[in-house]
Amino acid sequence: MDAAYADLKERLGEIHDLQKTRALLAWDQQVLMPPGGSGVRAEQIATLDRIAHTTFSSDEIGRLLDRLESFEADRPYDSDEASLVRVTRLDWEKARRVPAELRAEMSRASSLALPVWAAARQTSNFALFLPLLRENLELRRRYIDCFDTYDEPYDVLLDDYERGTTTAEVRAVFERLKVDQVPLVAGATREGERPGRDRPFPLEAQRQFELQVLERFGFERASWRLDPTVHPFASSLGTDDIRLTTRYHEQNLDGLFASMHECGHGLYEHGVSRSLERTPLARGTSLGLHESQSRLWENLVGRSLSFWRFFFPRLRDTFPEALGDVELEDWYASVNWVQPSPIRVEADEATYNLHVILRFELEQELLAGSVEPAELSEIWNARMLDYLGIEPANDRLGVLQDMHWAGGHIGYFSTYALGNVISAQIWERIASELPDLDAQFEQGEFGELRDWLTERLYRHGRKFTPKEMLERIVGGPIDPDPYLRYLGTKLATLT
């Protein structure tokens, strides 16, 4: 019996190696690769995906899982061993439904689409991107056809990112957010000049300042990297090889918030128990839980007054030309400035969810065929006007801004707003258990927060479903109220 477990673990270790190697292929492609490499890179990624999928969805894995039924039942639900068998069984049953060739086609299509998307975005040329979007949608329809147990087709896509969460559940949360947030945004939108914008922020100084912040969060040079890219992301190539990417703007500090955001993802991956290394549990529970951590470190920490009480004097010393005439209170208002804008990743906390809800709705309409890909740009712009009161000047600032649909990640966006909602639920819990946190932030100390999150969330990796995990931390299901409370309170202090 133990031999079967050791056998399963070794096979899963190899598959994990392939997946982490695949993550390096993708990281390299987005950070460093010369463009000439894209053709063979797509083949390399497709090959690794195919081998990983074929090895994982094999009969042998199924037989080992069968043999391990009583092994699993004999062990505590939250043990490494029972969790590995339980989660692997769910993964395996799902993987068995998808032919290896379809998997390979999906990954090849997304590798080939990424450079085309980048070119289309650069030139704001939606027509260039359109055939790839059609192909990715068609591939997702074929993917959905592999399954039969769902209420709505979109459930299948959502389940890949947020296991066990249905479209109906997300819709209920989002409807509530929309009802409250659309008028909230209209009321909280700031007029006048935003302090500390359009000033010179030399890039190398930004990088040095960011590293100071990230190192206080937990970034260590022995196990982390920070590199520039087009669309920031975080990647874990191993629990002690965490790669953050960011982008810098010469005239503002938006890049700092992108870096804090990605650092939240990195802290989660880095905090997973070393006993889970090289297993499929060595990553975050779900994208929603993951995003709750990036948003927590970016917003609940990085846009708090206590955080800036510590860092603002240092920031002003670093950028005297840009910030010499700016006071802490102005800066705090600036980093929490509510103003509808076209780009999701630069959106403030009040408008961000509306960007996501727009995509969540459009994805379902595209899949159902009630929106044609060719008319997407027009509908995108019209809906931006409805929800945010603005229209993007071009597709670069509109439908082409994000890489997700080029990468085939349809169903992914909603996890961003779920992350916001969950971050506030967890934050209310933390605030009740660590009442001293603001005082610590004012001293530049974030260790107690990181330790709390590691103990309650990070170390468990992917042992539990998102619902189980949230229940363990906050004692209940997903709930938009804490986020709306947090937002209401913060905006009230700012206007």
Chain contacts with its own copies (rule: CB under 8 A): 13-14, 17-18, 20-21, 24-25, 28, 32-37, 39-41, 43-44, 47-48, 50-51, 220-225, 237-242, 277-278
From 262, 349, 361, 363, the catalytic residue: 262
Please, which residues bridge with residue 235 across strands?
243
Which C-beta is closer to its own copies: that of 119 or that of 393?
119
In whole angstroms, the minimum distance from the beta carbon of 35 to its own copies comes to 5
Residue matched to tokens 């993007």: 392
Closest approach of its own copies to the CB of residue 258, in Å: 20
Nearer to its own copies by C-beta: 224 or 308?
224
Could you report how far apart the first and last alpha carbons of the chain are, in Å?
64
Using the minimum distance from each CB to its own copies, give the nearer residue, 86 or 265: 265
Q: Report in angstroms how near the CB of residue 36 gets to its own copies at its nearest.
A: 3
Q: Are 440 and 446 in contact (CB under 8 A)?
A: yes
Nearest Cα to Cα of residue 177 among 394, 441, 424: 424
Active site residue 162: no
Largest CA distance in the chain: 70
The SS3 call for residue 389 is: coil
C-beta of 316 vs 450, nearer to its own copies = 450
| Shortest distance (Å) from residue 460 CB to its own copies | 20
- Say how far apart CA 357 and CA 271 lie, in whole Å: 30
What minimum distance in Å lies between the beta carbon of 44 and its own copies? Answer: 4
Show Cβ contacts of residue 368 under 8 Å, excluding neighbours closer than 6 positions. Answer: 153
Residue with tokens 């899982």, as numbered in its chain: 65
Count of C-beta atoms within a 10 Å radius of residue 429: 16
As a whole number of angstroms, the distance between CA 244 and CA 233 comes to 6
| 302 contacts: CB under 8 Å, gap ≥ 6 | 213, 256, 257, 260, 335
Tokens 């990070």 correspond to what residue?
Answer: 458
Gyration radius of the chain's alpha carbons: 22
**Nearer residue to its own copies within complex by CB, 18 or 430:** 18
| Catalytic site positions | 262
